[in-house]
Amino acid sequence: MSIETTRRCLRLVLCATLLAAYSAELAPAAFAQTAADPSEVPDLVGVWDGGPRARRVNGPNMPWVPGENFPVLNERGLAYQAAFDEAIAPKYDCVPSASPALQYDPYMMEVTQWPDRVLFRYEKDDQIRTVWLDGREPPLNEFTVQGFSVGHYEEGALLVETTHFVFDVTGFDDYNGIPSSQQKRVTERYWREGDELRMTLTLEDPMFLREPTSYTTRWLPGPDGYKLQLYGCDAEEAGHPRKFLIPKYR
The pLDDT assigned to 234 comes to 95
Mean pLDDT of the chain: 89
Residue 144 pLDDT more than 90? yes
* Closest-CA residue to 225 (of 105, 53, 103, 108): 108
Query: Which pTM was predicted?
Result: 0.84
The pLDDT assigned to 29 comes to 38
Query: HSE-up of 121 (CA within 13 Å, CB side)?
Result: 13
The pLDDT assigned to 176 comes to 95
204: which strand partners?
A: 185
Encode pLDDT of 45-96 as tens digits. 999 999 999 999 988 899 999 999 999 999 999 999 999 999 999 999 999 9
H/E segment holding residue 220: strand 213-221
Asked if residues 123 and 109 have their Cβ atoms less than 8 Å apart, the reply is yes
Residue 219 pLDDT more than 90? yes
Asked if residues 108 and 227 have their Cβ atoms less than 8 Å apart, the reply is no
Encode pLDDT of 163-195 as tens digits. 999 999 999 999 999 999 999 999 999 999 999
Alpha-carbon dihedral of residues 199, 170, 123, 147, nearest 10 degrees? -70
Encode pLDDT of 4-59 as tens digits. 554 554 454 444 444 444 444 444 333 334 567 888 999 999 999 999 999 999 88
Read off the pLDDT of each residue in 122-150 and give the average, rounded to a whole number: 96
